[in-house]
Amino acid sequence: MLQTIEIYREDSKRPNYRAVQGQRQAQGTTPGQALDSLEEILAEKGETSASLVILQRFQPDVYFPETQQRRLQMLMSKFQDAIRQDTTLPPAERKELEQLIDAEWIAAIARGADVLAQSNHNPDA
């Protein structure tokens, strides 16, 4: 089964990244360090499988505007806090978070299609 790992930059005074797969998470000062730390945790738990890594840059664009981006970041922060406190998000916020994640997936697919279309039109790319 393919697992997804999301890596995103946390708001802080110095760079800090979080890698998340399901309920497992790890931090690092670079995206690679966060991913390596998460992979170590997953290996210790015997949870190794094929993974798709998503590095979220969180820059607004036509596919995922700033309002959605800010709301997603806020809900992800609340979600991470809930995990640390061994609680859950309220159902309405959990549903909204899932919808925003789906919207970001759709945006990522559209961005990828644009990159592919541009590379197909540019033989030097």
* Residues 65 and 125 grouped into a single domain: yes
For residues 99 and 123, membership in a common domain is answered with yes
- Greater pLDDT, 48 or 19: 19
111 with 124, same domain: the answer is yes
Residue-range definition of the domain harbouring residue 85 = 58-125
Query: What pLDDT, in 10s, does the model give residues 55-108?
Result: 656 678 899 999 998 999 899 899 989 988 999 999 999 999 999 999 988 998
Q: Is residue 124 over pLDDT 60?
A: no
Residues 75 and 121 in one domain: yes
DSSP state of 17: E
Q: How many domains does the chain have?
A: 2
Quote the distance between the C-alpha of residue 41 and its chain's center.
18
68 and 108 in a common domain: yes
Q: What is the dihedral of CA 98, 100, 106, 107, to 10 degrees?
A: -150
Distances (CA, A) of 48 to 8, 18, 53, 78, 115: 21, 19, 14, 27, 31
Let me know whether 76 and 123 are in one domain. yes
77 and 34, same domain (yes or no) = no
Do 83 and 22 reside in the same domain of the chain? no
- Domain match, 114 and 79 both: yes
Q: What is the pLDDT of residue 90?
A: 96
pLDDT digits (tens, 9 = 90+) for 31-40: 889 999 998 9
